[in-house]
Structure 1
Amino acid sequence: MKLLQPNLWVDNLHEIPLQQLQTIGIRGLMIDIDNTLVAWDKSEPATEVRQWVADARALGFQVVLVSNNHSLRVDEMQAFFMVHGFSKAKKPTLGTLKKAIRLMGFQRQQVAMIGDQIFTDVLGGNRLGVYTILVTPIKSKEFWWTTLVRPLEARVLHRMKKFRNSG
């Protein structure tokens, strides 16, 4: 259960306390694309999401997109956000996440993984030893595989909420 527990759980990107992340030494952000930055079925990110990424970069964060999606999708998002990205990451495996950290030139403890899925983003980030941030998915429409995993994820989240509320 510990590997599925994010360090921070927020409803949307705007609730992520970027200044607090800086104070704990986070300098790099690996960010998932689909339903974290952009709705799964949309081709463009919302203006406020583009601004959030720009604000993070202005604060000095290095941002790298890490997606399990195909290269065309990642290429489109790299153009919108003007950051580097990795496609077909196979999260929660660690290979691409390690490449993203090497690209940024940071140690693991200086990097956060931000995403909307426990079994890919949080699990991969925790296995790697980075700070993990779970964001509530932007939209309920998703890739077919994700729809199969979401019921199990909902059970895990329910248990986390009960544990969080009892402490």
Structure 2
Amino acid sequence: MFSNYKPTWMVDAIYQITPLQLKKMGIKAVLTDLDNTLIAWNNPDGTQELLNWILEMKNAGIPVVVVSNNKSSRVKRAIQQFELDYVARALKPFARGIRSAQKKLNLSNDEVVMVGDQIMTDIRGANRAGIRSILVKPIVDTDGWNTQINRFFERKIMRSLVKKHPEMKWRGGLE
């Protein structure tokens, strides 16, 4: 019933995804949500751990593109210090923003992955775009008011998915 919301992988945090793991899966680029995936929604400055992860990806030749439903000024301000490309107002769960980022990279569906903390936007959008997805745990337990509504429904969807797919478990990486 909720198979459109099923992630390909479930990883504790984006920082546990390594270039080696991605390359083993044939993935050449990472599309990622912003709030509660890369940075805490209420702390737009990020962390040293995030900076280290981005540098690790860049050094491995794996581009990271932020795909966010936020307005451009918010995304730009949050990621300017990281020098990442982005697509704002992505309209996830629709595939438009994800496809736009993929087009910038000129990569096939098998060569990109979408990482996000919400199954109703990030994972559903990835599935609509026909690309693999990685669900990560939110960086902080609090959310903006609009995301709190999604979280209520996500809990119900996740219970149903885990019951139907017992292999869905949180892991420390893609392997």
TM-score interval, smaller chain: over 0.9
Cα distance in structure 1, aligned partners of 2:11 and 2:115: 10
More off after superposition, 80-89 vs 16-25 = 16-25
Aligned to 1:53: 54
Cα distance in structure 2, aligned partners of 1:78 and 1:43: 8
Output the amino acid matched with 2:145.
Answer: W
Cα distance in structure 2, aligned partners of 1:103 and 1:64: 9
Cα distance in structure 1, aligned partners of 2:28 and 2:44: 28
Aligned to 2:12: 11
Conservation of the 8 A alpha-carbon contact between 2:30 and 2:115:
yes
Structure 1 residue 164 displacement after superposition: 4.1
Structure 1 residue 16 displacement after superposition: 2.2
Structure 1 residue 148 displacement after superposition: 0.8
Conservation of the 8 A alpha-carbon contact between 2:11 and 2:134:
yes
Structure 2 spans left out of the alignment, 5+ residues: 169-175
Aligned to 1:38: 39
Cα distance in structure 2, aligned partners of 1:166 and 1:14: 22
Task: Provide, for residues 108-148 of structure 1, a one-character-per-residue CA deviation record: whole Å limited to 9, x for no partner.
Answer: 11000000000100000011111100000111221211101
Cα distance in structure 1, aligned partners of 2:134 and 2:26: 15
Secondary structure, aligned partner of 1:37: coil
Secondary structure, aligned partner of 1:124: helix
| Count of aligned pairs between the two proteins | 167
Determine what percentage of the aligned residue pairs are the same residue. 32
Conservation of the 8 A alpha-carbon contact between 2:3 and 2:161:
no
Aligned to 1:122: 123
More off after superposition, 13-22 vs 56-65 = 13-22
Structure 1 spans left out of the alignment, 5+ residues: none
RMSD value over aligned CA atoms?
A: 1.6
- Greater relative contact order (CA < 8 Å, ≥ 6 in sequence): 2
Cα distance in structure 1, aligned partners of 2:165 and 2:53: 28
Question: Could you tell me the TM-score, scaled by structure 2's length?
Answer: 0.89
Output the amino acid matched with 2:19.
Answer: L
Cα distance in structure 2, aligned partners of 1:165 and 1:66: 29
Conservation of the 8 A alpha-carbon contact between 1:50 and 1:80:
no
More off after superposition, 69-78 vs 82-91 = 69-78
Conservation of the 8 A alpha-carbon contact between 1:91 and 1:120:
yes
Cα distance in structure 2, aligned partners of 1:17 and 1:46: 17
Output the amino acid matched with 1:70.
Answer: K
Cα distance in structure 2, aligned partners of 1:55 and 1:41: 25
Question: Could you tell me the TM-score, scaled by structure 1's length?
Answer: 0.93
Cα distance in structure 2, aligned partners of 1:154 and 1:119: 10
